[in-house]
């Protein structure tokens, strides 16, 4: 998001962000800002009190992955309520708005947490299914090996085949006897 597309916040000069605002917008620590200025990777100007000020465009150039101007929004502007609307509200309405804002933020966080939990459980389920399928395949191989082993063992122990009846010889025929 470029500074021209920034959300309307309470009159923030994007060419002169304070150190705290620069940290928030860039998504980095105070030490990181100081190190980048010292290394010449980031330019900073001094204000009347001698404090560093930073240009939002410069922060976006140096920190493109973590840069986000939405971090400068106040809770009221983040929830779509302008500062003019909150100033005319009664104290009771402001309290109710604050409670609803906190509740909304809590519910959003809870929804995100539940989505992450559901995704984690889906991954675990898929992993369990892969594990179960691998075990099933392994057991089937073992069963086949066992069947082959049993088959080989039973084939090696040959059963005695019944003796073929002895043919009747001429003498047996003449004497009308059964073969021995």
Distance CA 117, CA 121 (A): 6
**pLDDT score, position 76:** 54
Do residues 59 and 32 make contact, with C-beta atoms less than 8 angstroms apart? no
Query: Which residues have a Cβ under 8 Å from the Cβ of 41 and sit 6 or more positions away?
Result: 62
Q: Which of 159, 10, 15, 123 is nearest to 76 (CA)?
A: 10
The distance from CA 73 to its chain's CA centroid, rounded to whole angstroms, is: 28
Chain segment 31-69, per-residue pLDDT in tens: 999 999 999 999 888 888 988 899 888 888 898 888 887
Chain segment 132-180, per-residue pLDDT in tens: 999 999 999 999 999 988 888 876 655 666 667 777 788 888 888 877 6
Tally of CA atoms within 13 A in the half-sphere of 26 that contains its CB? 27
Residue 9's pLDDT band (cuts 50, 70, 90): very low
């Amino acid at each position: 998001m470029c500074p021209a597309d920034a959300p309307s916040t309470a009159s923030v000069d994007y060419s002169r962000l304070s150190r705290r605002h620069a940290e928030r917008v860039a998504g980095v620590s105070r030490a990181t800002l100081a190190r980048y200025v010292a290394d010449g990777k980031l330019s900073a100007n001094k204000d009347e009190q001698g404090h560093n000020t930073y240009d939002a465009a410069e922060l976006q150039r140096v920190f493109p992955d973590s840069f986000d101007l939405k971090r400068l929004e106040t809770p009221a502007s983040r929830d779509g309520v302008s500062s003019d609307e909150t100033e005319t509200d009664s104290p009771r309405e402001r309290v109710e708005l604050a409670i609803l804002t906190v509740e909304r933020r809590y519910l959003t966080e809870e929804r995100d947490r539940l989505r992450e939990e559901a995704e984690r459980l889906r991954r675990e389920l898929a992993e369990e299914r892969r594990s179960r399928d691998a075990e099933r395949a392994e057991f089937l191989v073992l069963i086949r090996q066992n069947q082959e082993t049993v088959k080989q063992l039973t084939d090696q122990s040959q059963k005695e085949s019944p003796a073929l009846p002895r043919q009747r010889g001429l003498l047996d025929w003449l004497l009308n006897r059964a073969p021995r």
